[in-house]
Homo-oligomer: A and B are copies of this chain.
Amino acid sequence: MDMTLTAAELAFRDDVRGFLAASLPQHLRDGARGTPSVFVEPDIGLEWQRALHAKGWLAYQWPTDCGGTGWTPVQRYLFEKECALADAPALSVLGLKLVGPVIARFGTPEQKARFLDRILTAEDLWCQGYSEPGAGSDLASLKTRAVRDGDRYIVNGGKIWTTHAHYADWMFCLARTDPDVKPQAGISFLLLNMRQPGVTVRPIIGMAGDHEVNQVFLDDAVALVENRIGDEGQGWTIAKYLLENERGGSCTAPSLLVRIERLGALAAAQSGGVAEDAGFTRRLARLQMEAEALELTELRLLGELAQGRPPGPQTSLIKLVASTMMQQIDELTLDVLGNDGLQLAGERPLYGNECPEPIGSKAAQMAMPTYLNNRAWTIFGGSNEVQKTIIARTVLGL
């Protein structure tokens, strides 16, 4: 939406472009393009995080008093758009976008001092302990128990779909501290050290062959009471705040628009005239119209955030549209690539020296694993079905 930019905003955009040109090395761009997922491996992710931290731009989603940049919504939007255009590795949301803002909002001064800076410096890597084998979309039914024992909780149970648990130093998790009240009321939000005997991590391999999520077994694992965020029983409130944060406050449209533009170029590079096929061109145009609409919908929402309103259920709309579109782009990409799109290399990562030579093109090598991994978009972080129910109940009053 360059159409709406002020001179100051244009200047800011040029700053960002300049920084990216100077400080985002090619091997990180290659790493990002060679990552068939929204979660990048630490080897490339952390190098980029440190560069942004050095520049002072890392905590742009945090309040200024916790190291935030104080950017306007439009600035945040421009920053994320330029990063997407430049193939910057995605920043791990777990610390920066999920637990960071929670600690900043609900944490004690001690907790802020203890954890926030180490998130920025990447000394601590985090994972999220929400879902359980029996509680996926239905968080309130979680079974993991935390029993108070002096200044500690003894935690028993388990978590699943735990992204990057195999890298994490800490897990923020929901545990039931009071089994006798109604489900939502008995839950607390605990920070739990992953480097202890009571914690066991089992890899779960995805359809595409990627190891991204895990099952985490908690057997008499210890969480210190001082590392509980908020009061006992306040976990549900904090969890909802975090989920709305996860869905809102950042822009999905820029990366969608970048993918759509590249898909047009990819089609033009194919033989057989797919780029001129009305079936393809109109599907692509419809995706672009939808993404351009989403771009403005997001800016409208960012505008409300800027006026201090919480993200709220509106973010369900963005999650719904963006995840659906992402999958439509994945499918159209496979259609464009034809036979080349069928390849699915077993090797990981798909960048660097171990990466096999692609068949046809690098884009073709990435298409199938990206398509397969992105099926998770409509499931995790609240499935599409859950998002629609949220909209119906809280926005439409049904």
Cα distance, A339 to B277, chains bound together (Å): 25
Say yes or no for A109: interface residue by CB 8 A criterion.
no
Q: Mark A278-306, 1 if CB is under 8 A from B, else 0.
A: 11001000000000000000000000000
Given the complex of chains A and B, what is the CA–CA distance between A277 and B279 in angstroms?
A: 9
Question: How many chain copies does the complex carry?
Answer: 2
Complex Cα gap A262–B130 (Å)? 57
Q: Give Cα A279 to B282, complex, Å.
A: 8
- Which residues does chain B contribute within 8 Å of A278, judged by CB atoms? 277-279
| Interface of A, helix, strand, loop or mixed by DSSP | helix
Q: Which residue of B lies closest to A279 (CB)?
A: B278
Residue of B nearest to A278 (CB): B278
Question: How long is the Cα–Cα vector from A279 to B277 in the complex, in angstroms?
Answer: 9
Closest CB in chain B relative to A78 CB, distance in Å: 36
* Residue picked from A277, A278, A282, most chain B C-beta under 10 Å: A278
Q: How far is the CB of A335 from chain B (nearest CB, A)?
A: 13
> Closest approach, in angstroms, between the C-beta of A285 and any C-beta of chain B?
11
Give Cα distance in the complex from A277 to B282, angstroms.
11
Q: How near does chain B come to A277, taking the closest CB pair, in angstroms? A: 6
Question: Shortest CB–CB separation between residue A286 and chain B, in angstroms?
Answer: 11
| Residues of the B chain whose Cβ atoms lie less than 8 Å from the Cβ of A277 | 278
- In the complex, chain B residues whose CB is within 8 Å of the CB of A282: 279
State the Cβ distance, A183 to closest chain B Cβ, in Å.
26
Which residues of A260-285 are within 8 A (CB) of B?
277-279, 282
Docked Cα-Cα span, A279 to B285, in Å, equals 13
Tell me the complex Cα distance, A282–B277, Å. Answer: 11
Q: List 5 A-B contacts (CB under 8 A).
A: A277-B278, A278-B278, A278-B279, A279-B279, A279-B282
Top 5 closest A-B pairs, CB basis? A278-B278, A278-B279, A277-B278, A279-B282, A279-B279
